[in-house]
Amino acid sequence: MSDGVPSPLARPDRGVLRLGKHVFPAGQPLIMAIVNRTPDSFFQPGVTWAESAALDRVHQVIGEGADIIDVGGIPAAPGADVDVAEEIRRTAGFIAAVRSGYPDVVISVDTWRHETARAACESGADLLNDSWGGYDERLAEVAAEFGAGLVCAHVGRQRPRTRPFRVGYADVMADVLVRTLALASRALQAGVQPDRIVLDPAHDFGKNTWHSLEVTRRLDELIETGWPVLVSLSNKDFVGESLDLPPEHRLAGTLAATAVCAWHGARIFRVHQVPESRQVVDMVATIRGDRPPARAVRGLA
């Protein structure tokens, strides 16, 4: 682990992850399917803006093997203002509908605001996916109150819905470690249960492409803390810039980065394309020895 990271915040048991009604053992990779309730997302904008289309998406991805449904009401990129009331309108009622149709599925809400988090938890959300690195300190309090999980993401000093500009780090992974572990410590102090805390290096957030590539190469340093790690790689700019491809042609590059992170030991993979991602993480888990082959008869009969 990098120098300067406080070792008491490591999770030495490397144990189970509890989300909603589920207990996920160490080594089990989870697919988090993205369902954006926005008209202006960077990938396939507006495809799940209508509630009926979003519900169809939920039915589809659960059938394809998704473990977690991640519902978001605000794009990460700069754009038209979405106030708290509108974010809640886009997400809370939809989460209630998903919970009604799928009582046992893990539901996540992608928000940095404690008001939205509270409305989402009241509607049935199990996980608060804070992509903006604890910008709203009260988010952890909501997670603790409802027994929800919390994602602790690294964004450097970037503010919500802004783009990184000439950002620099003496050591990007050391910064990821210090900041995510500090957020985990804050969550523990707020009362969030330790087996419901997840770390996220947050590719592209507060990072240029070189930073995101380095974080991918060195992800094992974050894994070594013992906390479950989420990666959100799907069709992101670091993939596009690496291969000079637009979002709709980044699947192969995304899957290559997914395989690397899975080999390092990432636990949750936030994705747009579920079946392809499911196959990659399951294959890597099988190679690692964390999962048996679905069938193995070759050379045995």
| pLDDT (tens digit per residue) in 259-274 | 999 999 999 999 999 9
pLDDT tens-digit readout, 99-158 = 999 999 999 999 999 999 999 999 999 999 999 999 999 999 999 999 999 999 999 999
Strand pairing class (230-232; 17-19) = unpaired
Pick the more confident residue, 13 or 126. 126
What are the residue ranges of helices labelled H in the chain?
51-63, 84-101, 114-123, 138-146, 172-190, 209-217, 219-223, 237-243, 251-264, 274-288
Which are the contacts of 250, defined by CB distance < 8 A and separation ≥ 6?
Answer: 235, 236, 239, 240, 243
Q: What is the pLDDT of residue 9?
A: 73
Continuous segment of H or E residues that includes residue 3: none
> Comparing C-alpha atoms, which of 103, 75, 107 is closest to residue 92?
107
Q: What is the pLDDT of residue 40?
A: 76
Q: What is the pLDDT of residue 7?
A: 42
Q: What residues are annotated to the active site?
A: 236, 270
pLDDT tens-digit readout, 46-91 = 788 899 999 999 999 999 999 999 999 999 999 999 999 999 999 9
Q: What is the pLDDT of residue 12?
A: 60
Average of per-residue pLDDT values in the chain: 94
Other Cβ atoms within 10 Å of 254 Cβ, number: 24
Continuous segment of H or E residues that includes residue 26: none
* pLDDT at residue 294 is higher than 60: yes
Residue 187 to residue 281: CA distance in whole angstroms: 28
Q: What is the pLDDT of residue 21?
A: 94
| Confidence bin at 293 (pLDDT 50/70/90) | very high
The answer to whether 26 and 18 are in contact (CB under 8 A) is no
The answer to whether 283 and 29 are in contact (CB under 8 A) is no
Q: What is the pLDDT of residue 167?
A: 96
Give, rounded to a whole angstrom, the gap between the first and last alpha carbons of the chain: 46
| Confidence bin at 22 (pLDDT 50/70/90) | very high
Continuous segment of H or E residues that includes residue 9: none
Q: What is the pLDDT of residue 49?
A: 87
pTM: 0.94
CATH number for the domain running over 18-288 = 3.20.20.20
pLDDT tens-digit readout, 207-266 = 999 999 999 999 999 999 999 999 999 999 999 999 999 999 999 999 999 999 999 999
Residue 15 to residue 4: CA distance in whole angstroms: 24
pLDDT tens-digit readout, 152-191 = 999 999 999 999 999 999 999 999 999 999 999 999 999 9
